[in-house]
Amino acid sequence: MASMGSESNVPKAAGDASTHPKHSVYLALGSNLGDRQAQLKEALQKLRQVVDIQLVSSVYETEPVGYLDQPRFFNIVCQGYTNLAAQELLQWAKDIERQLGRQTVIRNGPRPVDIDILLYDTLVYTGDNLIIPHPRMHERAFVLVPLVEIAPEVRDPLSGKTAQELLQGITQDGVIGTSVLL
């Protein structure tokens, strides 16, 4: 795994204190409206305000899941470190989605950007608006393929399985590697 940057390189968020521990996080990002490449780039840039991003997967083009009458997605996974609590990170992610034009009209419908927290340290958490690890991570190739690319040995704290083991249990149909650069 890549080494962490120095403390001085980590952007500070409101309410952030250097005495807080750094948390390892894995985030999934997707986009299927507008300039998908630009949307993902901008989302990553905004995330860097609160996440010291270490690893970013390749871009994968994928079929939509759930609501099928919509364009194909570009999907990536990134890993980094944050001083934010899980709920604070979720709020940042949702704020970024709104800033980039996301409006929830149809569940799993088209969107300029979607940001999901996949893993947060080894936390297992269920709240009103946040479940960690992501509750459908283990069944989504569009999440597991890029996750395995950057962290095949990271473990799902619920099942104890590695990302690679989770991926071996599902089909990878509809997940296509691209030459798109971010």
Kindly list the catalytic residues.
102, 111, 114, 116
Tokens of 48: 């860097």
**In contact, 132 and 156? CB cutoff 8 Å:** no
Three-state SS annotation for the chain: CCCCCCHHHCCCCCCCCCCCCCEEEEEEEEECCCCHHHHHHHHHHHHCCCCEEEEECCCEEECCCCCCCCCCEEEEEEEEEECCCHHHHHHHHHHHHHHCCCCCCCCCCCCCCEEEEEEECCCCEECCCCEECCCCHHHCHHHHHHHHHHCCCCECCCCCCEHHHHHHCCCCCCEEECCCCC
